Amino acid sequence: MVAAEQKAIVIGAGIAGIAAAIRLRVQGFDVQVFEQNSYPGGKLSAFSLGSYQFDAGPSLFTQPGFIRELFELAGEKMAGNFSYNRMPVSCNYFYEDGTFVQAYADTTALAQELQDKLGEPIENTIGFLQQSADIYNHIGTLFLQNSLHKTSTLLHAGIKKALKYTRLSYLFKSMNELHEQQFRSPKTIQLFNRYATYNGSNPYKAPAMLTMIPHLEHNLGSYYPKGGMISITNALYELALRKGVRFHFNARAERIIRANNKVQGIVAGGENIPADVVVSNMDIYFTYRNLLGDEWKATEVLKQERSSSACIFYWGIGKSFDQLILHNIFFTKDYQAEFNHLFNTGKVFSDPTVYINITSKCEPGLQAPEGKENWFVMVNAPANSGQDWQAYSAACKKAVIEKLSRILGENIETLIEEEEVLTPETIEAKTASYMGSLYGTSSNSRLAAFMRHPNFSKQTRGLYFVGGSVHPGGGIPLCLSSAKIMAELVAKDYKTQQH
């Protein structure tokens, strides 16, 4: 157990920051969290528009075991504090030619659906999802749950097994190339190519190793947390409070104090606040530029391509649509052209793929008035590089409404009762994500995983990093994993034990 006087400070109360605070508190640190916003959760927050409730950020919930692990680590049971349901269909897919596919959570049912609707042989889907599971279980877990910047990881007992299952094609082919080998139907290829967007990447460039991602949704399942995604934030925030973590809101960290290659604390509110350990949940670029005053390191971070961002429309819709479920995708005709716009031109694509999340489907009457729906409408967008986002979002909205009205056979614009718009520019302002990138850096190169910033500082003892802009990446499970990796490093560095 760490000495009572040892203190830890976490900068940022995003989901990784909260998880980091819980883990450090369990190790015995006196933990304080400093958050510039007035609420916890970062991107994983919520708001209301009239009588409609909206989750502001992440909308997909997988791998609930990460949440359960935090409760068990803290000596509590998750039951009674947080609950969720497994979704029988992970997503409804709509294609421009009228094709409609239900992505069943059951692998056999999904394979049958893809054969019936797309002509995809059943064995192709079954074989692919088994391969996806093998990549994740034998390769992914080793690298996603351990630091890639420590020799101990390379000496890990699982490294031989990982190498056994590694194929050159996983590293040197793109996701799209592997999908073209695996599947017969272009529509099936498009369906599985979309999983590159789960970490803001381009399936025509991202390595085939990322074909492990569908395993999380199709083999392990997707879930709906009761109360919406905000319930994840609320449950972990309340757990942290019960463990004795102290939160300071509207309290912006101004600087990380260092001396003799060791962290000394932070400056917040013009005061020096001492700490033995400082953990930054802020985007790594802003951590170096704003908190450490290290322009050179900040510039080094920018050598890696940023992930995509998003234009999000929060719409209160005055009607219920039977053909829609919790997760829905309306595909573009030309996926490759869309990704070319995202990463090369920085402009609006005339026929964007549209994602709609509707939590009122799972909790009717609670998330939206009876007979109405709360639509979280997201279109992938390029990172913010100074575009005219007012004009961009207006053009994007026009394209989205035209697509949805055409496919659903209803004038969507006349049904919008409430509206809020979020662009890459406002995402950057609200969440301190540089350029509004949702996942920090993209994974559009085979070395991207190794180029992500480590969870510790090589120059400053006691300084650590968590969140979507560092290893292992963005998304709720990976952010929670970053907190676990960080805590294990701290435990070794400070020889702590859980209590």
Give tens-digit pLDDT for 40-64: 999 999 999 999 999 998 999 999 9
For Cα atoms 397, 305, 34, give the angle at the middle one, nearest 5 degrees: 80
Question: What are the tens digits of pLDDT across the range 361-417?
Answer: 999 999 999 999 999 999 999 989 899 999 999 999 999 999 999 999 999 999 999
Q: Does residue 484 share a domain with residue 460?
A: yes
- What token pair was written down for 70? 């935090």
Paired tokens of 136: 């994740």
| Same domain membership, residue 297 and residue 237 | yes
Between 149 and 336, the more confident residue is 336
Query: Does 406 fall in a domain?
Result: no
| CA quadruple 356, 359, 365, 366: dihedral, nearest 10 | -140
Longest dimension (CA), the chain: 66
Question: Is pLDDT above 60 for 280?
Answer: yes
C-alpha closest to that of 441 among 290, 349, 288, 309: 309
Among the candidates 220, 254, 284, a domain finishes at 220
- pLDDT in the model for residue 232: 98
For 319-342, what is each residue's pLDDT tens digit? 999 999 999 999 999 999 999 988
Do 248 and 298 fall into the same domain?
yes
458: in domain: yes
Burial class for 140, CB neighbours closer than 10 Å (0-12, 13-18, 19+): buried
Assess whether pLDDT exceeds 80 at residue 267.
yes
- Kindly state the percentage of the chain with pLDDT values over 70: 92
Q: Is the pLDDT of residue 487 over 60?
A: yes
Q: Note if the bond before 472 is cis, omega within 30 degrees.
A: yes
Q: What is the domain range of residue 128?
A: 115-220
Q: According to the model, what pLDDT value does residue 497 have?
A: 61
Residue 397 phi, psi (nearest 5): -60, -45
Residue that is last in its domain, among 196, 220, 244: 220
What is the predicted pLDDT for the residue at 347? 82
pLDDT recorded at residue 348: 79
The answer to whether residue 208 is domain-embedded is yes
For residue 344, give the DSSP letter.
I
Same domain assignment for residues 209 and 286: no
How many residues are given for the chain?
499
- In this prediction, residue 159 carries a pLDDT of 60
Looking at residue 486, which CATH number applies to its domain? 3.50.50.60
- Name the domain count of the chain: 2
If pLDDT is split at 50, 70 and 90, which confidence band does 209 have?
Answer: confident
- Percent of the chain topping pLDDT 90: 77
Residues in CB range of 394: below 8 A, 6 or more apart? none
Residue 132 in domain:
yes
Question: Looking at the DSSP assignment, which residues form a beta bridge with residue 278?
Answer: 9, 463
Tokens standing for residue 374: 């709360």
User: Does one domain contain both 196 and 121?
Assistant: yes
Q: For residue 239, what are the contacts with CB-CB under 8 A and spacing of at least 6? A: 22, 70, 71, 74, 76, 81
Per-residue H/E/C for 251-317: CCEEEEEEECCEEEEEEECCEEEECCEEEECCCHHHHHHHHCCCHHHHHHHCCCCECCEEEEEEEEE
pLDDT at position 241 over 90 = yes
Structure tokens of 385? 């590089």
pLDDT score at 473: 87
| pLDDT for res 163 | 55
pLDDT at position 143 is: 75
Mean pLDDT lowest among 71-75, 334-338, 409-413, 474-478: 474-478
Instruction: Give residue 439's pLDDT.
Output: 79
| Average pLDDT rounded to a whole number, residues 3-12 | 86
Predicted local distance difference test score (pLDDT) of residue 168? 54
Same domain, 238 and 276: yes
Within a domain: 60: no
Question: What's the pLDDT score for residue 200?
Answer: 87
Residues 279, 194, single domain; the answer is no
Any domain includes 94: no
- Both 284 and 188 in one domain: the answer is no
Whether residue 401 lies inside any domain: the answer is no
pLDDT of amino acid 148: 67
- What is the rounded CA–CA span in Å between residue 403 and residue 330? 8
Do 234 and 213 share a structural domain?
A: no
Within a domain: 182: yes
Q: Are residues 261 and 202 both part of a single domain?
A: no
Band of the pLDDT at 3, cuts 50, 70, 90? Answer: low
Q: Are residues 158 and 203 in the same domain?
A: yes
- Rounded Cα gap, residues 354 and 399, in angstroms: 10
Task: Give the residue among 333, 130, 212 at the shortest CA–CA distance from 122.
Answer: 130
Q: Output the pLDDT for position 153.
A: 62
Residue 436 backbone class (left: φ over 0; alpha: ψ -120 to 50; beta: rest) = left
Confidence bin at 346 (pLDDT 50/70/90): confident
Task: Compute the Cα dihedral for 394, 399, 402, 404 and give only its sign.
Answer: negative
In this structure, the answer to whether residues 212 and 232 fall within a common structural domain is: no
Of 220, 240, 263, the domain-final residue: 220
CA–CA gap between residue 385 and residue 286 (Å, rounded):
16
State mean pLDDT over 106-110.
Answer: 96
